[in-house]
């Protein structure tokens, strides 16, 4: 297939394919013929921002104690 046809197919697959959340569709050329390859994404790349946020630990920006049980104000913080 020609490059323009492959680009159109890639764009359609990226928008409509059931695996679009977990896979990427890329162009591949060999001997002048273009194809579209389906490539699996690493696990976190397929997640939405909301799903990624749910997997991240929540960090307290104002800890009530430092390692060893020292209070921040006692350590000069």
Element (H, E) at 16: helix 3-16
Mean residue pLDDT of the chain comes to: 77
Threshold 0.75, pTM exceeds: no
pLDDT score, position 15 = 93
pLDDT tens for each residue of 11-49: 999 999 999 888 999 999 999 999 999 999 887 655 566
């Amino acid at each position: 297939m020609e490059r323009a046809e492959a680009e159109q197919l890639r764009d359609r697959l990226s928008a409509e394919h059931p695996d679009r959340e977990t896979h990427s569709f890329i162009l591949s050329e060999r001997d002048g013929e273009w194809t579209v390859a389906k490539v699996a994404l690493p696990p976190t790349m397929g997640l939405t921002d909301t799903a990624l946020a749910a997997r991240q630990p929540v960090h307290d920006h104002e800890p009530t104690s430092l390692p060893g049980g020292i209070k921040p104000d006692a350590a000069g913080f």
